[in-house]
Amino acid sequence: MDAVSSEAHDLSSSLPSGEVHLWFLTDSIPAIGPICANGFIVLSPAERQRFCEMKNRSMARRFLLGRILMRRVLARYLDEDPAAIAFRYNANGKPELDISPETGLSFSLSHSSTEMILAVSRASAIGVDIETIDRADAAHRIGQQFFSAAEIRGLEAIGAKAPERALILWALKESIIKADGDTVWDGLATIPLMIEGCRIDFQPYWRLGAGLYAENYVLACAVKSSGEQPNDPLIFRTDWLAKGQANDNSFEPYFRT
């Protein structure tokens, strides 16, 4: 799908059930300063307090940008004031919209290096993960300890491409786990994934997509349906919150269910 600018369409209208919208925010452009300054006012009192009490300023900045991205983007779909959006949190701290489930709107946030991404869909659950490609060797080493025997054999069979494939498996597992509201360490060993060619073999009611994004990143997304899994593949649309960000990168997964 071609990338589109953040002002190119009205997102208060319906989000088709077969689409995933991927919103990016890069923490390295001139517009970030004003975004942080102007965005602080949309945080809830509890979020402001949490930000002010965080001793690690890098983590505090990441938290601030994540909440701004979530509130500014979700407000477009809900036709709501960003500051009025209410969240609830599961046992692992995953935020969810504190509104009627009939809206059918799910979202997931991920970050890596300077990139932050929010995935939005009309589904019972969604998870997204973005990883820098330089983590491939580490993912391969960890995978040797936690991946299934079949997955390890699959990695051994592709030789030099094994580290990148291991990172893709890692990102897919994390996206699935995030959709279910758990943490990645709960799923490295318990979620079996097999990739044959460009096809991912997984459970019914899940649609998965993974591949390279902007050359330096691996991106994976998992969408869980409450009903029968559609046969049509997910359609991904990329967008950017901040003006001034190069928006010539779209995402089309190479690996799919």
What string of DSSP letters covers 35-59?
HHHHHGGGS-HHHHHHHHH-S-HHH
Say how far apart CA 130 and CA 57 lie, in whole Å.
Answer: 22
Express each pLDDT in 28-53 by its tens digit. 777 788 888 788 899 999 999 999 99
pLDDT digits (tens, 9 = 90+) for 196-252: 999 999 988 899 999 999 889 999 999 998 665 556 778 999 998 876 555 567 899
Residue spans per domain, the chain:
19-244
Asked if residues 41 and 242 have their Cβ atoms less than 8 Å apart, the reply is no
Is the pLDDT assigned to residue 185 strictly greater than 70? Answer: no
Instruction: Yes or no: say if 70 and 109 are a contact pair by the CB < 8 Å rule.
Output: yes
Q: Which ranges in 91-187 belong to alpha helices (H)? A: 136-146, 149-157, 162-180
- pLDDT of 99 reads 78
Q: Which residues of 93-132 are buried (b: 16+ CB within 10 A; e: fewer)?
A: ebbebeeeeeeebbbbbbbbeebbbbbbbbbebbbbbbbe
From residue 54, how far is each of 60, 65, 66, 107, 178 by CA, in Å?
6, 14, 14, 24, 23
> 19-244 domain in CATH 3.90.470.20?
yes
Q: Determine contact, residues 76/167, Cβ cutoff 8 Å.
A: no
H or E element that contains 126: strand 125-132
Average pLDDT of the residues of the chain: 86
**What mean pLDDT do residues 78-101 have?**
86
Question: What's 15's DSSP letter?
Answer: -
pLDDT reading at 1 higher than 50? no
Phi and psi, residue 161, nearest 5°: -85, 0
According to DSSP, the β-strands at 19-26 and 235-240 are parallel
Tracing tokens 């998992």 back to the chain, one arrives at 222
Determine what percent of the chain falls in helix, strand and coil, rounding each to the nearest 5. 35, 25, 35
d(CA 125, CA 146): 25
